[in-house]
Amino acid sequence: MLYKLKTFLTFFPWKNPVAQPLSFSIKDFSIGVVNIDGPYLDVKIQVKERWYLLPLPHLKPVDRNLNEWLFKRGASVSRVDYGVKLMYDNATGNNDKLRFYFVTGYTKQLLLSYNRPYIDKNLKWGLNMSLALGKTHEINHITLDNRQEFHNERDDYPKNFFEGLAEFSYRPAFFTRHYFGIGYNTLRVSDSVVLKNPQFLNNGATSVKYPRVYYKLVYQNLDYIPYPTQGYAYEVMLAKQGFNSRMNVWQLSAKAQGSWHINDKMFYSISALGSLKLPFKQPYLNSQLLGYGDLTLRGYENYVIDGVAGGILNATLSKQLANFSLNLPILKKYTSTLIPLKIYGKVYGNTGYVRNTQPWANSLTNRMLYGGGFGLDIFTDYDFTLKLEFSFNQLGENGLYLHKKTLY
């Protein structure tokens, strides 16, 4: 990239600036003055881009976490989604992302999404669209003893779904974004699901169609979003699903995280997450809370805790143990870029609570829960993080658990 900037030569102390250009460089990035013409400078910025077009195989266990799939489900291949995905970054030169997934295996699904961070000249408004259509041989229809139970039909599909979404984003300041979304969802389950759990949907229904609207505020002032070691971030979302007796839920959710350096190698983090659903009387479909997504209470990875209100509080102390790069021989013919690898050791503690007044409430609801442990975070290229954690809980249980993402 070459930019022409207007400036004043008095800023430069040398007599012949063309012969002595100003420049500096770091790994995969360099910038320098290559020519001066009167009050103008030609500035050359050179960067090394990531691969932007990636046709890849798609392999993903469908269970809530890796531990659930590896140990409770025996790493069963039948519980893996596989297929192909096309990831096209910077599709039109506007830092936009195009995704297409053709998935088979546990889930039969087609997914198409497009994200463009800015659609206006002032670089304030963005657009995100997605369509998903699919069906599965199995569905989580109830929770017993704080664990998911599944209904399976090998010769049929007890769950059929469609999800469509259009989302606009607005960025008035560097660290802040507002999101406005509208979507439409359909879900159809078999009669067998409702026979096993008449409260799976409202009024014993076997299908539901509903619109969804939401507003989300995101603030991120972090040193590195995929694995922050310093800074603050928070997110607040208000959503409405459905407008009749078949589907009617207001949801307010929030999460926040702060990280602070102790020295160059150590930092500590505190995070809080919570969710509230109204009215309190909801079908089983809308009762998922702890154990799903970011709302994971460490030490309780083997359990799910359903309810309509709850949250968790985390505290972590981390230290960088290693920082180096790998040069794998198999990749030499494709790229000369080294693969970075950082390893952090950590200790942590967390607590959580879930409120549930429904008849299917399990023993871990309506009580304070505590857990803690220690582990390793392995961070590498393309923002991939693998977390190895040995956790324990107040039930006297402990174990090694695997995770693959951070809070943000």
Q: Which domain holds residue 19?
A: 2-47
Q: Which of 313, 330, 348 is the last residue of a domain?
A: 313
Q: What is the pLDDT of residue 393?
A: 96
Q: Indicate if 127 and 270 belong to the same structural domain.
A: yes
Please return the burial class of 324, using the count of CB atoms within 10 Å of its CB with bins 0-12, 13-18 and 19+: exposed
Q: Indicate if 274 and 132 belong to the same structural domain.
A: yes
Whether residue 78 is predicted with pLDDT greater than 90 in this model: the reply is: no
Q: Indicate if 16 and 158 belong to the same structural domain.
A: no
- The tens digit of pLDDT for each residue in 280-319 reads 999 999 999 999 988 999 999 999 999 999 999 999 999 9
What CATH number is associated with residue 148?
A: 2.40.160.50
Q: Indicate if 172 and 277 belong to the same structural domain.
A: yes
Q: Indicate if 12 and 122 belong to the same structural domain.
A: no
Is the distance from CB of 104 to CB of 62 less than 8 angstroms? Answer: no
Is the distance from CB of 143 to CB of 304 less than 8 angstroms? Answer: yes
Q: Indicate if 187 and 308 belong to the same structural domain.
A: yes
Q: Indicate if 33 and 134 belong to the same structural domain.
A: no
Q: Indicate if 167 and 263 belong to the same structural domain.
A: yes
Residue 236: inside a domain: yes
Residue 257: inside a domain: yes
Q: Which of 278, 313, 348 is the last residue of a domain?
A: 313
Residue 164: inside a domain: yes
Q: Indicate if 16 and 161 belong to the same structural domain.
A: no
Q: Indicate if 43 and 141 belong to the same structural domain.
A: no
Residue 287: inside a domain: yes
The whole-number average pLDDT for the span 79-100 is 87
Q: Which of 268, 298, 313 is the last residue of a domain?
A: 313
Residue 27: inside a domain: yes
Residue 179: inside a domain: yes
Q: Indicate if 252 and 174 belong to the same structural domain.
A: yes
Task: Give the number of domains in the chain.
Answer: 2
- The tens digit of pLDDT for each residue in 103-144 reads 888 889 999 999 999 999 999 999 999 999 999 989 999 999
Residue 241: inside a domain: yes
Task: Record the pTM.
Answer: 0.82
The whole-number average pLDDT for the span 28-42 is 78
- The tens digit of pLDDT for each residue in 213-252 reads 999 999 999 998 889 999 999 999 999 999 998 999 999 9
Residue 363: inside a domain: no
- What's the CA gap between 57 and 177, in Å, rounded? 32
Q: What is the pLDDT of residue 173?
A: 93
Q: Indicate if 291 and 153 belong to the same structural domain.
A: yes
